Amino acid sequence: MLRRSLLSMALAGAVAGLAGLPQAHAQDTTVRMWTFLNPAGQSPRDLALAQIIANYEQANPGTKVVVEPQAWDQMTPKFLAAHNSGAAPDVIWVVTDFLGDAIKSGSLADLSQYFIKDWTPEQVADRAGPYWDLTADGDKQYSLFTSRNYISIMYRKDLLAEAGIDPASITTWDGFVEAAKKLTVKDASGQVTRYGFAHGFSENQADPPLMIPYALGKGAELFQEDGKANFTTPEAVEGLTFQTDLIKKHGVMAESAVTWTVDDVYEQFASDRAAMIMGASVRVSTLQGQLGKDKVGLMLWPGSGDKPHSPAVMAGWAVGVWSKSPIAEKAADFVEYMLGPQGDPLWVQVGGQSPGLASTLASMGDFVKQPGNEFLSVVSEGSVNYGWLAPIDYSIGGYRQILNKAAQRVVVNGQDPKAALEEAAAEFNRSHNR
């Protein structure tokens, strides 16, 4: 009986498996793309990608775009390995942490030779900004960005309004603490039921901690010219002190924040347990879905005095073409379409992303003004004037985790911020052999 059931299971599986095998049409050119999105999926970004691909295939008969969804955190290392073994896809999404490695390894093709050379100056200007500059090298351009992310303060519009706080008025770090104090709510027994601010210090899923905008806003650099850590500047020490004092001194942040991941923080926010959090622009639409479209906004970081706002850390996904792709030209054509004037509006309207082209933002004035969509203009103002992209000239992988660990040591072990950052710098330099 056992043997028969095993056999029938195997057979059923075999039939199912064969039916599911991809069928290639010989006459078609197939462009393979690796991304963490799944065009069969139902999330807004999945739907946007599916629609862009469908439009492209309709406009280009004979070309098929096949997405091979990957685990996002392994995708770029795997791509670099695949580049060496010859199995890489034609189009690749690269995470900013490994972007420098990807370019230096020669795995990304120069896109100007395919389509940027034909662009008008206006078309180039349409993309001007720090993202363009990051992967440009003289006449060469190795990628176009998508899923641009701006990490600053996400806040509850209703709660701030209730407390009489205008987000635009928070332009200093002291003002920020005052607002957070006002937003911290306690019950009759003195137990905090809602904190003014939340920000996770876990090493798992670490976003760049608050001390970075703080230190950058005061004019410090986070890395030295040679890629060594520059974590022990007075500004950085002050920043870490400020960040941990939100728990230790001001009581506007929960002590458990030390153990929170990025996702934990969003769940605290969704549970009504925090009025402001360190949050990313790419998450605004999700939180609006959980809390209500009119309740979630994004604001810029407070400034350091001379400037109204400190730079926020930006990130995103750089889309490139594999340099050894046999159909690089076709692949480049798709990249241009996906992230150009045809694709960009769909990423915004269907996918809920912030626009990649200045012209998209301009042409979508009504959409941006819809209640809940104002954050899009906050992001575009921020990315142009108050943004910081981590350098890609040298590898900096792990800096967020190491800085978060330093914050944990300050809160849990009571370590002095300066000593914690010295330890962090030593660990960073050692792990990168610098």
Partner 1 sequence: MHSRRAGLIYIVPAFALLGLVLFSPVFYGFWFSLFRIQYGAPTDFIGIGNFMRLLDDPALGGTVRRSAVFAAAAVVLTVAISLALAVWIHKLGERRGFIVQMIVIVPWIISTVVATLLFRWVFVNDIGLALSLARWAGLGEIRILNDPTLAMGLLIAVSVWKRIGYAVIILLAGLKSIPDDYEEAARIDGATGWQVFRRITLPLLKTPLLLVTIVLTLSNLNTVETPLVLTGGGPGDATRILPMDVFDRAFVTYDLGSATALALVMFFGNILLVLAYVRLARWKA
Partner 2 sequence: MTTGATTTRMPRNERPLVRRRQWLPGAMGVAIALAFAALAVLNLLPLIWGVLTSLKAETDLFRFPPVIFDFTPTLANYERVIASGFLGNMKMSLFYSAVTVAATLALALPAAYAFDRFDFPLRGPLFLLVVASIPLSLGAAALLIPNYLYFTRLGLTNAWFTLPLIYTAHQLPMAIWIMKGTIEGIPRELDEAAIADGASRFDVLRFVILPLSRPAMGAAGVLTFVGSWNEFVAGSVMVDSPGLRPVQPAIYNFIGFFGREWGPLTASATLAIVPILIAFALLGRLIVSGLTKGSVKG
Residues interacting with partner 1, by CB under 8 A? 73-74, 77, 80-81, 83-84, 97-98, 101-102, 104-105, 107, 191, 201-206, 254-256, 258-259, 261, 264, 267-268, 271, 273, 395, 397-398, 401, 405, 408-409, 411-413, 427, 430-433
Q: How far apart are CA 151 and CA 49, in angstroms?
A: 23
Q: Quick one: which segment of 19-27, 159-167, 321-329, 400-408 binds partner 2 (CB under 8 A)?
A: 19-27
Q: Which does 398 bind (CB under 5 to 8 A by kind): partner 1, partner 2, none?
A: partner 1
Residue 192 or 350 with smaller CB distance to partner 1: 192
DSSP state of 311: P
How much helix, strand and coil, in percent to the nearest 5, is found in the chain? Answer: 50, 15, 35
CA 394 to chain centre: 19
How distant, in Å, are the alpha carbons of 16, 53, 70 from that of 20?
6, 21, 19
- Residues across the chain: 434
The helix (H) or strand (E) run that includes residue 320 is: strand 312-321
Backbone angles phi, psi at 20, to 5 degrees: -90, -5
Q: Which does 104 bind (CB under 5 to 8 A by kind): partner 2, partner 1, none?
A: partner 1
**Least distance from partner 1 to the Cβ atom of residue 18, Å:** 23
Residue 302 or 316 with smaller CB distance to partner 2: 316
**Least distance from partner 2 to the Cβ atom of residue 40, Å:** 4
Q: How far apart are CA 304 and CA 363, in angstroms?
A: 34
The helix (H) or strand (E) run that includes residue 52 is: helix 44-59
Our CA angle for 233, 239, 240, nearest 5°, is 95
DSSP alpha helix (H) spans, 67-221: 72-85, 99-104, 121-125, 130-134, 157-162, 173-183, 211-217
Structure tokens at 247: 């728990």
Q: Which does 14 bind (CB under 5 to 8 A by kind): partner 1, partner 2, none?
A: partner 2
Q: Which does 324 bind (CB under 5 to 8 A by kind): partner 1, partner 2, none?
A: none
Q: Quick one: which segment of 231-239, 287-295, 306-314, 413-421 binds partner 2 (CB under 8 A)?
A: 287-295
Residue 86 or 121 with smaller CB distance to partner 2: 86
Q: Quick one: which segment of 135-143, 248-256, 260-268, 363-371 binds partner 2 (CB under 8 A)?
A: 260-268
**Least distance from partner 1 to the Cβ atom of residue 254, Å:** 7
Structure tokens at 185: 């709510």
Spell out a b/e string for 179-206, using b for 16 or more CB atoms within 10 Å of the CB, else e. bbebbbbeeeeeebebbbbbbbbbeebb
Q: Which does 344 bind (CB under 5 to 8 A by kind): partner 1, partner 2, none?
A: none
> Site mask, partner 2, residues 39-68, x = CB under 8 A?
-xxxx-xx-------------------xxx
CB-based contacts of 280, cutoff 8 Å, min separation 6? 149, 150, 151, 154, 207, 262
Q: Which does 67 bind (CB under 5 to 8 A by kind): partner 2, partner 1, none?
A: partner 2
Q: Which does 397 bind (CB under 5 to 8 A by kind): partner 2, partner 1, none?
A: partner 1
> 71-130: which residues touch partner 2 (CB under 8 A)?
71-72, 74, 77-78, 81-82, 84-87, 89
Q: How far apart are CA 210 and CA 200, in angstroms?
A: 10
Closest to 210 (Cα-Cα) out of 179, 183, 246:
246
Residue 254 or 389 with smaller CB distance to partner 1: 254
**Least distance from partner 1 to the Cβ atom of residue 84, Å:** 4
Residue 41 or 227 with smaller CB distance to partner 2: 41
Residue 66 or 270 with smaller CB distance to partner 1: 270
Q: How far apart are CA 391 and CA 395, in angstroms?
A: 8
Q: Which does 283 bind (CB under 5 to 8 A by kind): partner 2, partner 1, none?
A: partner 2
Look at residue 110 and give its three-state secondary structure. Answer: coil
Closest to 256 (Cα-Cα) out of 199, 319, 216:
199
**Least distance from partner 2 to the Cβ atom of residue 20, Å:** 5
- List residues near partner 2 by CB under 8 A: 2-3, 5-7, 9-10, 12-14, 16-22, 32, 34, 36, 38, 40-43, 45-46, 66-72, 74, 77-78, 81-82, 84-87, 89, 147, 262-263, 266-267, 270-273, 282-283, 286, 289-291
